[in-house]
């Protein structure tokens, strides 16, 4: 995924004042080399007129910029920032410096007040020399890029509400207003029909590859080679359908129609969210269980903010008050990337395919333990119809497979230590939560600010 930023340098529209302070401007321009290294960018000259702003905005739009950083090294006419917003409607950060001789802070406040008056959400940075400030500016760039990329995307939902999970539903009009995202509904029979029509050689290729990669297969009860083949067919069919319909991310109901009437969709869930299949390395695409629309959207936000990392949907399964660790579990599969290590970069060798605990279709579950890593957990929730986001910074603790049996042994699980305990559970708005590798708390805070929703961080 490519983040693209526009850097607009503004200065005093009074030519004589600008000339006197031009040396200060040049000094500040050279100090932004660190920013130029963060992402592909387009950069203006120092602009002191509306015509220059209009010309640069056209170039930035052609470049495909996703975030606008308005650099105000000295006093700049506040209306210039208004004009940039008019010509280049992107998420905005005002960037100044804390040197007393520049009047930069005055310029940022003048521009920020003007943007406030027209209702333009933005963020302000009053210095960029410290590591902390630079980290927050990069977080803004990632969050703004995610917001820009999200607008115009489509979630493909296969099937309706699963198991009566009310929080998995969403209002399409509200999504368009807040996020600019569409929801398109398809029947799950589209997966079954295409799966059954696939060429045998294509199915066998992917089945052989999967059997060679995983740590083993244990058939039994309703789970047999034929039902595993149906799971592989489901993966290939779902992959083709999301490409045919140009879906950016998807959700599949699965229970109970697919899990009982055809086969559980766990293999599709693992491989679509993952970065490997029989064709080699591939991009991860968000696939949410149980047609969880808000879950899928949260996963897509995490996916975009992390520049394409796999994400996960998990249940808040159990909180161990003795050691302060949450057991997070999925009913059948996670992206194998969460099990990857130096010995196996795919993570697939950690997975065993075993008989599932539900589903008359006889599918297999894919249990494994998420390896030790820093993670960010998040979820879009609603209170009385208003969105807010819950965010947790966590650390997954490495555990052995024997720990799986403490809850449901065939479910993949993550054991997460964080500052969120039962106080979190008293306020959280879902049974599902979502995970990505790395710390993206500041990015999510920025994203929520740009969208205009509350962000609660534990």
Q: Would the pLDDT of 235 be above 90?
A: yes
Mapped to the 3 state alphabet, what secondary structure does 276-321 carry?
EECCEECCCCCEEECCCHHHHHHHHHHHHHCCCCCEEEEEEEEEEC
296-314: average pLDDT: 98
Structure tokens at 284: 């991860």
Q: Cα–Cα–Cα angle for 93, 137, 7, nearest 5°?
A: 50
Q: Would the pLDDT of 1 be above 70?
A: no
Q: Cα–Cα–Cα angle for 373, 375, 378, nearest 5°?
A: 160
Instruction: Put the strands of the sheet holding 92-95 in their side by side order.
Output: 41-47, 5-10, 67-71, 92-95, 122-125
Structure tokens at 79: 């209306």
pLDDT of amino acid 405: 82
Q: How many residues does the chain have?
A: 458
| CATH architecture assigned to 154-457 | Alpha-Beta Barrel (3.20)
Q: Which of 154, 165, 155 is nearest to 250 (CA)?
A: 155
433-449: average pLDDT: 98
Summary mean pLDDT of the chain: 96
The Cβ of residue 425 has, within 10 Å, a number of other Cβ atoms equal to: 11
Q: What is the pLDDT of residues 201-215, one digit of tens each?
A: 999 999 999 999 999
> Do residues 258 and 191 make contact, with C-beta atoms less than 8 angstroms apart?
yes
| CATH architecture assigned to 5-150 | 3-Layer(aba) Sandwich (3.40)
pLDDT of amino acid 400: 83
Entry pTM: 0.95
Q: What is the pLDDT of residues 151-197, one digit of tens each?
A: 999 999 999 889 889 989 999 999 999 999 999 999 999 999 999 99
Q: Cα–Cα–Cα angle for 172, 177, 181, nearest 5°?
A: 55
Q: What is the pLDDT of residues 242-281, one digit of tens each?
A: 999 999 999 999 999 999 999 999 999 999 999 999 999 9
224-236: average pLDDT: 98
Q: What is the pLDDT of residues 61-70, one digit of tens each?
A: 999 999 999 9
Check the CA dihedral 243-244-246-251 and report its sign: negative
pLDDT of amino acid 404: 83
pLDDT of amino acid 440: 98
pLDDT of amino acid 4: 95
Q: Is the peptide bond before 256 cis (omega within 30 degrees of 0)?
A: yes
442-447: average pLDDT: 98
Pairwise CA distance, residues 353 & 367, whole Å: 7
pLDDT of amino acid 87: 97
Q: Which of 148, 150, 152, 141 is nearest to 40 (CA)?
A: 141
Q: Would the pLDDT of 98 be above 90?
A: yes
pLDDT of amino acid 164: 86
131-135: average pLDDT: 96
Q: Where are the domains of the chain?
A: 5-150, 154-457
Structure tokens at 339: 């099990």
């Amino acid at each position: 995924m490519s983040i693209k930023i526009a850097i607009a340098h503004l200065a005093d529209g009074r030519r004589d004042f600008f000339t006197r302070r031009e040396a200060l401007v040049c000094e500040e321009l050279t100090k932004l080399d660190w920013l130029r290294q963060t992402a592909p960018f387009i950069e203006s000259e120092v602009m002191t007129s509306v015509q220059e702003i209009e010309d640069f905005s056209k170039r930035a739009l052609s470049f495909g910029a996703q975030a606008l950083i308005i650099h105000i090294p000295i006093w700049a006419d506040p209306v210039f920032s208004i004009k940039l917003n008019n010509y280049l409607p992107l998420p905005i950060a005002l960037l100044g410096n804390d040197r007393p001789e520049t009047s930069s802070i005055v310029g940022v406040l003048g521009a920020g007040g003007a943007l406030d008056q027209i209702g333009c959400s933005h963020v302000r940075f009053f210095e960029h020399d410290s590591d902390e400030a630079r980290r927050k500016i990069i977080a803004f760039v990632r969050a703004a890029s995610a917001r820009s990329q999200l607008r115009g995307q489509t979630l493909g939902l296969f099937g309706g509400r699963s198991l009566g999970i009310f929080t998995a539903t969403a209002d399409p009009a509200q999504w368009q207003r807040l996020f600019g995202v569409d929801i398109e509904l398809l029947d799950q029979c589209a997966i079954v029909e295409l799966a059954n029509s696939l060429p045998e050689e294509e199915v066998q290729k992917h089945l052989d590859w999967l059997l060679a990669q995983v740590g083993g297969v244990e058939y039994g009860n309703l789970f047999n080679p034929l039902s595993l083949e149906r799971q592989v067919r489901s993966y290939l069919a779902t992959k083709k359908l999301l490409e045919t319909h140009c879906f950016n991310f998807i959700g599949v109901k699965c229970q109970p129609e697919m899990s009982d009437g055809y086969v559980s969709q766990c293999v599709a869930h693992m491989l679509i969210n993952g970065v490997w299949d029989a064709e080699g390395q591939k991009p991860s695409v968000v696939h949410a269980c149980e047609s969880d629309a808000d879950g899928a959207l949260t996963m897509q936000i995490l996916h975009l903010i992390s520049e394409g990392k796999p994400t996960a949907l998990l249940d808040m399964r159990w909180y161990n008050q003795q050691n302060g660790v949450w057991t997070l579990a999925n009913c059948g599969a996670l992206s194998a990337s969460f099990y990857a290590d130096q010995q196996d970069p795919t993570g697939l060798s950690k997975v065993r395919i075993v008989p599932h605990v539900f589903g008359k279709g006889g599918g297999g579950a894919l249990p494994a333990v998420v390896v030790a890593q820093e993670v960010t957990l998040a979820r879009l929730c609603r209170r009385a119809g208003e969105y807010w986001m819950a965010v947790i910074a966590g650390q997954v603790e490495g555990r052995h497979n024997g720990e799986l049996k403490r809850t449901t042994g065939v479910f993949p699980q993550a054991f997460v230590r964080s500052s969120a305990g039962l106080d979190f559970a008293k306020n959280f708005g879902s049974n599902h939560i979502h995970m990505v590798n790395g710390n993206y708390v500041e990015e999510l805070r920025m994203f929520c600010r740009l969208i205009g929703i509350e962000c609660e961080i534990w």
